[in-house]
Amino acid sequence: PPSPSPSREPAPPHLSPYEPPAPLDIPRNRFVRQEAIDRYQVNRHKDFKHEWRVFDEVMAFPLIQAEFSR
């Protein structure tokens, strides 16, 4: 039988609008193999979630914001 998937970490609490978000801590010192370092160097600038970027751009339009703020 397939093994159960590990449980997810709890979601972080919502930040207040006055707190700037903390920068992401990328554990570069935890890469064990050179292939992993090379893969990170190649992939770190790629946009894997095109839909999220487009969603954010669309939600920024005043007409859309007005529709969702009703």
| Number of compact structural domains in the chain | 1
Range of the domain at 40: 30-68
User: Is 2 inside a domain boundary?
Assistant: no
Q: 11: number of CA atoms within 13 Å, CB side?
A: 3
User: Is 1 inside a domain boundary?
Assistant: no
> Per residue in 15-55, pLDDT tens?
555 566 666 666 666 666 778 778 877 777 676 677 777 88
First to last CA, the chain: 49
Q: Is the pTM of this model over 0.85?
A: no
Q: What is the pLDDT of residue 37?
A: 75
User: Is 25 inside a domain boundary?
Assistant: no
Q: Taking CA 33 as the corner, what is the angle to CA 32 and CA 38, rounded to the nearest 5 degrees?
A: 120
